[in-house]
Amino acid sequence: MSPACNIAAALPALAAERPDQVAIRCPGQAGRYDIALSYAQLDARSDAIAAGLAKRGIVRGTRTVVMVRPTPEFFLLMFALFKAGAVPVLVDPGIDRRALKQCLGEAQAEAFIGIPLAMLARRLLGWAKSARVRVTTGARPWLADATLAQVERDGAGAGPQLADTAPDDVAAILFTSGSTGVPKGVVYRHRHFVAQVEMLRTAFGTQPGGVDLPTFPPFALFDPALGLTSIIPDMDPTRPADADPGKLLAAIERFGVTQLFGSPALMGVLAAHGAALPTVRRVTSAGAPVPPEVVAKMQALLPDDAQFWTPYGATECLPVAIIEGRELLTLRERTEQGAGTCVGRPMPPNEVRIIQVSDDAIEQWSDELLARPGQVGEITVAGPTTTDAYFNRDAQTKLAKIRELLPPLPPGEGWGEGASAASEGFRTVHRMGDLGYVDAEGRLWFCGRKSQRVVTASGTLCTEQVEPVFNVHPEVRRTALVGIGERGSQRPVLCVELRAGVARDQRPRIADELRHLGEGFVHAARIETFLFHPRFPVDIRHNAKIGREKLAAWAAKQPGSNQ
């Protein structure tokens, strides 16, 4: 019998190989890092929890909402659910409450595991009414059938637990952040998680024994599968822009952190703080383009042999492409001249192709869809981590996925990792919803979200080809291109957020200077209206993606002056 395809399958081997190595370390009361789980403890306790959950009906295939903060309980639960073959459902806790209720309803969860506050909110707000099993991480089974401690005791002594999950079995439902619309539940199969771990291991040369500070909790789930120690930061994961750099630096120094993951907003916090990071050998930042000045500052804080990576991808397909900070900085001038943001070369074995822009569903792949070489179009990807569906969202699935038939293979040979094991002979191509192009060197350039493009009577403007031109102004913190009116005849407007301390009466001068800046570039020269906004709305997951839809609605109500 072939081994189970499961992200938790590596845990027993690592527990046997390095039982005393810390797998997860979390802050305790008052921010002290006094809660730790070794690999042996994580393996044994997650076994016990998996067995205890099974006794309460949470078994292979059971959709289970998990609303637990990034504590040891979260990681024990997640690995227990993976071992059981159950299907954890994760939703960003910071999204709009109505959207959260809709997401939990769509998931049709059969179980609900949460902190006491989540259990109360579930009762008061009607979350996940379909859940028949309820478990709380609290000390008492308040509004629940049992506590997690009781579940673990029920399963104690049961021995190793690992469901014989197949590659195409559903492993989890992960909801998108909803930064450009209502969150959607991405269906992850076990082969997707396993492929992600292997691609990350290969791309970054990850070796067991490293110490990671993952400031986005779901990414910490990869660490035990890679043999790393995760130091969970003392911060609100939904507000990385407000993280205390002193606490992060204290953890990095105390535990000898060798790698760090964070959103561009968190990188901005560390860059502004300006303290050196002598132990860190690799930094990874994703979620939105990282401003070049932040990349440059972070490179200066790292050792000479350290690397700063900015992977490109999405919840539906990750990772897609990567670029290292030094190469990114060599392309900074091109970005500031309207070329877009380079996100690097596709990670093997991904196949990235650019198709002509369309807002319609595309059922079947055809090479006739392809854009001309170098032309800005819609980015698509096919590969081992390309997911194939949104849960209970058939319309959105049809808009985002293309079915591609594969050529016949000789007898005895199989299709690659990107092919569907359930329906051999085709693979799924994911439409990223992003615009971009591939240059002559094979590098992928990101030009902005397709839904946020501005289509005027004289052509299409892309956010990442316009905004960097204006972001070089020394008094501008960031800008956002939006369109007012019907697509096809939209009026382009540049919303401007100034740096702290710039007086209001300076806005007319700055608007004139921005207009002059844009005159030297084809796309930017079309911008005639500049509106100043006090603080841009951003996404709740990374605090980095600008809420251009909200800004467009705001801009439409403004008188159009530069004041």
Tens digit of pLDDT for each residue in 1-14? 457 899 999 999 99
Greater confidence (360 vs 206) lies with 360
Burial of 266 (0-12, 13-18, 19+ CB in 10 A): buried
Mean pLDDT confidence for 78-90:
97
Span 216-235, pLDDT tens digits: 877 788 898 899 999 999 88
What pLDDT score does 412 carry?
Answer: 53
What pLDDT score does 31 carry?
Answer: 65
Residue 455 contacts by C-beta under 8 Å, 6 or more apart in sequence?
Answer: 461, 483, 487, 488, 490
Span 105-148, pLDDT tens digits: 999 999 999 999 999 999 999 999 999 999 999 999 999 999 99
pTM of the model: 0.93
Same domain, 9 and 125: yes
Domain boundary (449, 469, 498) is at: 449
Mean pLDDT confidence for 70-74:
90
Q: Is 508 a member of any domain? A: yes
Greater confidence (88 vs 544) lies with 88
CATH number of the domain where residue 485 is located: 3.30.300.30
Q: Is 264 a member of any domain? A: no
Q: How far apart are CA 168 and CA 468, in angstroms?
A: 42
Q: Is 234 a member of any domain? A: no
50 pLDDT tier (thresholds 50, 70, 90): very high
Same domain, 396 and 458: no
Same domain, 386 and 483: no
- Of 75, 90, 84, 88, give the one whose Cα is nearest residue 39: 75
Number of domains into which the chain is organized: 3
Pair 322, 350: CB distance under 8 Å: no
Q: How far apart are CA 286 and CA 544, in angstroms?
A: 9
Count the neighbouring beta carbons within 10 Å of the beta carbon of residue 143.
18
Rounded to the nearest 10 degrees, what angle do helices 264-273 and 292-301 cross at? 50
Q: Is 127 a member of any domain? A: yes
Query: If you ran DSSP here, which 8-state letter would residue 546 be given?
Result: B
CATH number of the domain where residue 346 is located: 2.30.38.10
Helix, strand or coil, per DSSP, at residue 513: helix
DSSP letters along 352-390, please? EEEE---SS---B--GGGBPPTT--EEEEEESTT----B
Rounded to the nearest 10 degrees, what angle do helices 148-155 and 72-84 cross at? 50
Q: How far apart are CA 320 and CA 452, in angstroms?
A: 21
Helix, strand or coil, per DSSP, at residue 121: helix
Q: Is 268 a member of any domain? A: no
Does the pLDDT at position 287 exceed 60?
A: yes
Span 296-323, pLDDT tens digits: 999 999 999 999 999 999 999 999 999 9
What pLDDT score does 140 carry?
Answer: 96
Query: Dihedrals φ, ψ of 251, to 5°?
Result: -70, -40
State how beta strands 426-438 and 377-382 pair: antiparallel
Q: How far is residue 382 from each of residues 175, 203, 333, 374, 427, measured CA to CA in Å?
A: 20, 18, 31, 20, 7
- The dihedral sign for the CA sequence 551, 317, 199, 369: negative
Q: Is 343 a member of any domain? A: yes
Domain boundary (228, 257, 279) is at: 228
What pLDDT score does 2 carry?
Answer: 58
Pair 155, 53: CB distance under 8 Å: yes
Count the neighbouring beta carbons within 10 Å of the beta carbon of residue 245.
16
Pair 79, 39: CB distance under 8 Å: no
Q: How far apart are CA 43 and CA 19, in angstroms?
A: 9
Mean pLDDT confidence for 498-521:
95
Q: How far apart are CA 39 and CA 223, in angstroms?
A: 11
What pLDDT score does 205 carry?
Answer: 84
Domain boundary (177, 207, 228) is at: 228
What pLDDT score does 100 carry?
Answer: 87
Q: Is 200 a member of any domain? A: no
Same domain, 355 and 490: no
Helix, strand or coil, per DSSP, at residue 281: coil
Q: What is the mean pLDDT of the chain?
A: 91
Same domain, 8 and 140: yes
CATH number of the domain where residue 74 is located: 3.40.50.980
Pair 89, 66: CB distance under 8 Å: yes
Structural domain boundaries, residue 375 = 313-409+417-449
Same domain, 25 and 158: yes
What pLDDT score does 179 carry?
Answer: 64
Pair 288, 357: CB distance under 8 Å: no
Same domain, 356 and 422: yes
Mean pLDDT confidence for 17-21:
96
**Which tokens go with 432?**
């990223």
What pLDDT score does 542 carry?
Answer: 72
Does the pLDDT at position 257 exceed 70?
A: yes
Q: How far apart are CA 322 and CA 286, in angstroms?
A: 10
What pLDDT score does 180 carry?
Answer: 62
Same domain, 148 and 47: yes
- The dihedral sign for the CA sequence 228, 233, 236, 240: negative
**Which tokens go with 117?**
């506050």
238 pLDDT tier (thresholds 50, 70, 90): confident
Share of the chain above pLDDT 90, in %: 79
Mean pLDDT confidence for 161-190:
89
Same domain, 481 and 385: no
Does the pLDDT at position 46 exceed 90?
A: yes
What pLDDT score does 181 carry?
Answer: 67
Same domain, 435 and 460: no
Q: Is 137 a member of any domain? A: yes
CA 232 to chain centre: 17
* Range 303-308, long-range pairs (CB < 8 A, 24+ positions): 303/277, 303/278, 305/281, 306/277, 306/280, 306/281, 306/282, 307/281, 307/282, 307/283, 308/282, 308/283
SS3 content of the chain, % helix, strand, coil (to 5): 35, 25, 40
Span 398-437, pLDDT tens digits: 999 999 998 775 655 554 545 554 456 899 999 999 999 9
Same domain, 429 and 517: no
Q: How far apart are CA 544 and CA 411, in angstroms?
A: 49
Same domain, 21 and 129: yes
- The dihedral sign for the CA sequence 460, 462, 467, 469: negative
